[in-house]
Structure 1
Amino acid sequence: MFSAPDPGRLRLRVSLRAVLGIGLAVAAAEAAGLSLVASITGGLAALLALFTVGDATVRRQAVTTALLPAAGFPVLALATTLHGEPLLRAAAWLAVVFCGVYARRWGLRGHALGIFAFMMFFVTQFLHALPAQLPELYAAVALALAASSAVRFGLWCIERRTPPPAVPAPLPGTGLARPTTRQAFQATFACAVALAVGEVISPDRFYWAVGTAWWIFVNTASRGETLVRGFRRVVGTVTGIAAGLLIAIPIAGAPLPTAALVAVCVFGIFYTAAPSYSWMMFFVTVMAGLLYGLLGVLHPGLLLLRFQETAVGALGAALGVALILPVTTHGATDAWIRRALTCVHGCTTAAARRLAGDSTADPAPLAAELELLLGRVRLSLAPLVHPLSPLRARKTRARQVIVLLDDCAREVRGLAAVAAEPAGRTASHDARLATACRRVETAVHALVAPAAGRTDAGAAALAPHAHLASDAALTHLHALEQALGDLAAPLHTSPRAPLVPA
């Protein structure tokens, strides 16, 4: 996993910055004379601020970070006040869950604020915080956000040089069909199941089940995605528990070794979050064991209980997506594929206009958007290509779709590169380009609107003089047309029927 591609070493830099920012936050809390409970709360607040705040611009990131206390402080007060009232505490936490997921409809800012609010409730259960500790908890969170912000926006502002890519907008919908509304009900039901069963297993450690159910619903859109994410979380937790038995228990809360290993875990969480959810959960679980050691409550039975609560949370998530407003993997995947194919057409059109001399047309942003959309398609298809998937026909189709869409992306990138070259701006209205672009448009139309059928683009006369830029563009357009044509078989035949080799 540590050999996964890291263009520009962005993941490496973000991970090192996280270690620095969280370390500074904890050091500030310790220097202020705050308790261990407050220091851990501050460290978690810094981690969340660095991990979840992902707005498109540095200015928006700073505003979102400044708003985190507005979401977190009331929840801290509510959770500590209701700590001794199990029924009221459960009702309040489920309300926080619903509001936290529903807030995702307001984009990345709502997403970050919702997670922060949920985790402030979680940390009070993890640390058994009481109302008398609220002032120092508030102080720790404020110090942590100030320290992590000083690193993120001052000392090491990576985003000023490499702005984060735009995130594809969620799939459309209204009412209960809106993804955020549907997930709010699903997550609340899942957390209710996790809370009820988790309390039966352990009235003191039930929060791990609720936390598991909550995090499984982050960045998922379909039943299959949620189930795969739950499986990966359990795998990461099991391996993390095994490592905890070998690492955290022998250390037994010794401050310096624990601090060093927690720093390693923080680095691992940030570095592996994008390529592997299982590895991220491994580091989260090891870090939790180390923190339990610092609190003086770590023992092998506690790690076993951690696994049981995680399994309960994963079960709650599975029930939530299966029973409450379910969305099939096929439905979600089909919508993302349609968006990707529409983007292919848009990029092709922009490139053709640029090659025809329109200096305002730029296919590069659309080519970048296509990469992001294909990432979302891969995530949606992940349940079907998972090694444990028993649906062989669907697995074959999903793999073929991924390969062909990757082919489309490669040709689109090549086309955009040709259009960006100075020679490409003098392709001079080559009629062959117009004809090829119309054929690509027809192919895309047949895939995203099959009921309408194909339209005959006709044959245009060839330009009297060939041009090198035109020839290069035509090569990409012909390959793109071939890939789009090959997509018809896996997209338009029954998912259960075996594919006939071309």
Structure 2
Amino acid sequence: MFSGFDFRDWLLANDPALSRLRMALRVTLSVALSFGVLLVIHSLLFPLPTASYGLGIVLAIEGGVAVRDKGGGRQLVTRLLGCAASLIVVVIAAGLEGHRLISDAAFLLIIFLAASARVLGARGHAIGMFAFMSYFLGAYFQPPIAELPFVAIGPVVSSLIAHAVRSVVLPDDWRRDLLRSLESVQGRINQILFKIAALAAVKSVSEADRQELNQLEERLKDVVLMAESFIPRPASGVFDPGTEPAGELAIRLFDAHLAAEGAIMLCSQALPPFELVHGIIEGHSVRSPGEDDDSSTAEATRALIRLGNARAELVETIDEGNRTGFADIAAVAEAPAQASRPDFSLRNPLMRSALQITVASAIAMTLGLGLSRERWFWAVLASFLVFTNTNSRGDTAMKALQRSVGTLFGIGIGLLLATLLAGHQLPALAITSLAIFLAFYFLQTSYATMTFFVSIALCLVYGMIGSLTLDLLLLRVEETALGAAVGTLVAFVVFPARTRGALDLVLDKWFAALTALLKAAAGGEPRHVLIGLSQTLDAAYKDLATAARPLGSSWSVVTRPGQVRQTLAIFLAATYWARMMAKNREASITDDDARQLIDASLARVTSSSARRSACFFVDRNIPVPSARHHPHASKGWRQGLEMIGLTLERLYPDA
């Protein structure tokens, strides 16, 4: 039987920091309260037009998803500006209703401006989404000019309620989220150690055991990246690889995942004694095999010791966070950020995407009118949204397919529920609220699931207001599929090859700096020369992180940790260990093993640099097929050298 304890375990396993749960609750509560307040105004003061409810509900959702400024004050300013933009575009939509061609042209202009506003950052993105959705609803509901003062009540009420929900009822707290996610990382490491201990007790590893260990490693990777996402960025927006507390914590997390991967890989090949694993779990001091012992069991033992050390460092970080509230990280995070100059040229991927969205919307508008003179907006909405959180043509095509499939199945289930609940308002409202909650709970993990539940909610709403017909639902499916197909086509035709010239250029500098450092180490250059070269590598990493930022711009919804962040974590770790190698080198490298390590690292640099920015689009669910998954135990230049090679292997795990 599925007990409450089992449900809690399942919830924490899938949402360790409860961030998805909190966002879903925020959206659902904001929608419910906004609808309730508007209903009270309608009942006790004066009747409100349908457009007021539509704008209130949709902007309550956007307010819970799109507003991502840091701090309640900045969020309130963004909401008020978004509300103002909403009212302006609704007035424009109402005023141009009698001039169809001008109204359509104005809609396309607003779409371009809304998509281009992402260049201005989180606030620009939020205001742009408020403006787009408001013009969409204004053109859809077509409110008369005389009703506009009453229509305006919807956006104002929803903006204030959404802000109260986020600031008072379910506030942000990065310290709490970071601490909870670090505890989840520790829990995942414990699960891996317990599993290895169980296997060591029976002294055998089956294929099913290997698959379970790999699943545990995948879950650890997800929560490590989640924890990294909660670390506040410094004013530059880029972690410093070794000098800032935030950067050191990011490295510690990365190394914990690397240690777990190595322990799983090597213990699957040769299990260490149970007593040793048990000692590591209990936190006892365990003697490492000598460096001359290269047996499989010794390799696995070293990997387990490293995993135990990573867990111990993590426990120290958690204890310090409980004591100080991450005061060192907070001091850096609270420094004022330096505003960067927005780039509105076509060199910026966001501007190229804005043009793609506008072209797709224009085509969807034209074709959608052929299907329906009243409901063509659905095609435009679909073509606009399939570009969200996509970095390639393949991403857009997959997003379009997910939206179409989610809409189709959601409408099928929604039609059945709406038919069964006809005349039963309270159960229909309850299931609608549940559908909205589930839609935004799964938003970060499955776009198709989110679309499925949104479609169910829409069917129930249509049923409650008496507008539900089979023809209407079929038209929605057709318009959605049309808009999604147009979006995919434009993604393949308009700017189909994403220009990554700037990113390729800074990647060349980073690889060149690392090559120079490794060659200097092999040539016996003094330590001060190596340190200077490592500082050049540091600067190249910062340029790289800045150049890669547009690739990871999620501008409509919060996404799971993606390929861009994973790749940047690899470059951050390699830069950090290069610094450690340079700082700790004491003498010339004379032994053949060290020279082989340098030669191997140089070979990896050569092969990886040839593929340039392709590393940002690699599927890293493939285990790294390396024979060595641990560094030597000493905290010196040799460990840094081994970790450079080990980290670079992760750029292309299928190589």
Deviation digits for residues 106-163 of structure 1 (CA, Å, limit 9, x no counterpart): 1221111111101001222443433232112211211111111011112221245445
The reply to whether residue 54 of structure 1 matches residue 54 of structure 2 is: no
- Deviation readout 1:269-312 (Å, 9 max, x if unpaired): 32112211111111221222222223321112111110000011
Deviation at 1:230, TM superposition (A): 1.1
| Cα distance in 1, alignment partners of residues 608 and 569 from structure 2 | 16
1:374-393 matches, within 5 Å, as none
Q: 1:19 matched to which residue of 2?
A: 28
Partner of residue 172 from structure 2, selected from 127, 133, 158: 158
Instruction: Give yes or no for the alignment of 1:447 onto 2:608.
Output: yes
**Shift in CA distance, 116/341, structure 1 to aligned 2, threshold 3 Å:** farther
Aligned-partner residue type, residue 647 of structure 2: L
From 62, 65, 88, the counterpart of 2:102:
88
Q: By how many angstroms is 1:210 displaced?
A: 0.9
* Percent identity over paired residues: 30
Q: 2:156 aligned with 1:142, yes or no?
A: yes
For 1:180 and 1:219, the matched residues in 2 are separated by 11
Moved more, 123-132 or 7-16: 123-132
For 1:273, the aligned partner's letter is: L
Helix, strand or coil for the counterpart of 1:158? coil
Q: Which residue of 2 aligns with 1:498?
A: none
Q: After TM superposition, give the deviation of residue 72 of structure 1 in Å.
A: 0.8
Measured in 2, the distance between the counterparts of 1:78 and 1:72 equals 10
1:194 and 1:160 map into 2 onto residues whose CA distance is: 41
The amino acid across from 2:436 in the alignment is: V
What is the TM-score with the length of structure 1 in the denominator? 0.71
| 8 Å Cα contact 1:411-1:479 kept in structure 2 | no
Report the Cα offset of residue 321 of structure 1. Answer: 2.3
Q: 2:404 aligns with which of 226, 230, 234?
A: 234
Deviation by residue 1:152-189 (Cα, 9 ceiling, x = unmatched): 1122212454458669999x987334323322222222
| Cα deviation 1:429-486 (Å, max 9, x = unaligned) | 45699987897578446633679xxxxxxxxxxxxx98356665555334224445x6
Match of 1:209 among 362, 375, 379: 379
Does the CA-based 8 Å contact 1:186-1:321 persist in structure 2? yes
Residue 307 of structure 1 aligns to which amino acid in structure 2? V
Distance 1:249 1:343 in 2: 61
Verify the 8 A CA contact 2:174 2:231 in the aligned structure 1: no
Q: 1:407 to 1:147 in 2, by over 3 A?
A: closer
Task: Look up the SS of the partner of 1:327 in the other structure.
Answer: coil
Find the aligned partners of 1:307 and 1:290 in 2 and give their Cα distance: 16
Q: Does 1:258 align with 2:267?
A: no
Match of 2:646 in 1: 479
Residue 311 (structure 1) aligned to one of 481, 484, 503: 481
Is residue 2:444 matched to residue 1:274? yes
- Secondary structure of 2:121's counterpart equals helix
Deviations 1:403-424 (A, max 9, x none): xx9699579769979x9xxxx9
- Residues 411, 455 of structure 2: 8 Å contact kept: yes
Q: 1:250 to 1:113 in 2, by over 3 A?
A: same
Q: Structure 2 unaligned segments of length 5 or more: list them.
A: 1-9, 178-229, 239-338, 518-526, 555-562, 613-631
The Cα of 1:218 is off from its aligned counterpart by 2.1
* Structure 2 residue 160 is the aligned partner of structure 1 residue 127: no
Aligned equivalents of 2:88 and 2:571: distance in 1? 51
Aligned-residue Cα RMSD (Å) equals 4.7
Contact 1:415–1:476 (CA under 8 A) maintained in structure 2:
no
Q: Matched residues in 1 for 2:163 and 2:568: separation?
A: 40
What is the correspondence of 1:54-453 to structure 2 with a 5 Å cutoff? 54-161=68-175, 162=177, 175-252=345-422, 254-324=424-494, 326-328=495-497, 428-429=584-585, 443-444=604-605, 447-448=608-609
**CA pair 101-413 structure 1, distance change in 2 beyond 3 A:** same
What is the DSSP-based 3-state SS (H/G/I as helix, E as strand, rest coil) of the residue aligned with 1:176?
Answer: coil
* CA spacing shift, 1:374–1:298, aligned 2, 3 Å: same
- Indicate if the aligned counterparts of 2:30 and 2:161 stay in contact, CA closer than 8 A: yes
* Paired residue type of 1:290: L
Q: Which residue of 1 aligns with 2:14?
A: 5
Q: Greater Rg, structure 1 or structure 2?
A: 2
- Aligned counterparts of 1:408 and 1:164: Cα–Cα separation in 2: 15
Taking a change above 3 Å as real, the CA distance of residues 218 and 413 of structure 1, as seen in their structure-2 partners, is same
Separation of aligned partners in 2, 1:407 and 1:289? 41
Opposite residue 470 of structure 2, the aligned amino acid is P
Aligned counterpart, 2:48: 35
Q: How many residues align?
A: 434
CA distance in 2, matches of 1:443, 1:472: 17
Note the alpha carbon deviations across 1:27-84, whole angstroms, 9 max, x for none: 2212222536223321211111111112344443332122112211111111123334
Cα distance in 2 between the residues matched to 1:135 and 1:23 = 22
Once the 2 structures are TM-superposed, how far is the Cα of residue 2 of structure 1 from its aligned partner? 8.2
Take 1:157 and 1:346, find their aligned partners in 2: how far apart are those partners? 43
- Deviations 1:369-427, CA, capped at 9 Å, x for gaps: 98x97996899xxxxxxxxxxxxxxxxxxxxxx8xx9699579769979x9xxxx99x9
Partner Cα distance (1:164, 1:272) in 2: 23
Runs of 5+ unmatched residues, structure 1: 380-401, 452-464, 491-501
Q: Distance in 1 between matches of 2:363 and 2:411?
A: 24
What is the distance in 2 between the residues matched to 1:290 and 1:466? 61
Distance 1:305 1:141 in 2: 28
1:32 aligns to what SS in structure 2?
helix
- AA at the equivalent of 1:41: L
Judge which range, 265-274 or 124-133, deviates more: 124-133
Return closer, same or farther for 1:254/1:222 CA change in 2, 3 Å cut-off: same
- Could you tell me the TM-score, scaled by structure 2's length? 0.56
The alpha-carbon deviation at position 258 of structure 1 amounts to: 2.8
**Higher mean C-alpha deviation, range 273-282 or range 288-297:** 288-297
Instruction: Tell me how far apart the structure 2 counterparts of residues 181 and 40 of structure 1 sit (CA, whole Å).
Output: 30
Q: 1:430 to 1:236 in 2, by over 3 A?
A: farther
Distance change (3 Å), C-alpha of 1:47 and 1:477: same
Q: Distance in 2 between matches of 1:432 and 1:25?
A: 70
Q: Distance in 1 between matches of 2:358 and 2:106?
A: 11
Q: Distance in 1 between matches of 2:405 and 2:639?
A: 47
What amino acid is aligned across from residue 100 of structure 1 in structure 2? A
Cα distance in 1, alignment partners of residues 112 and 509 from structure 2: 33
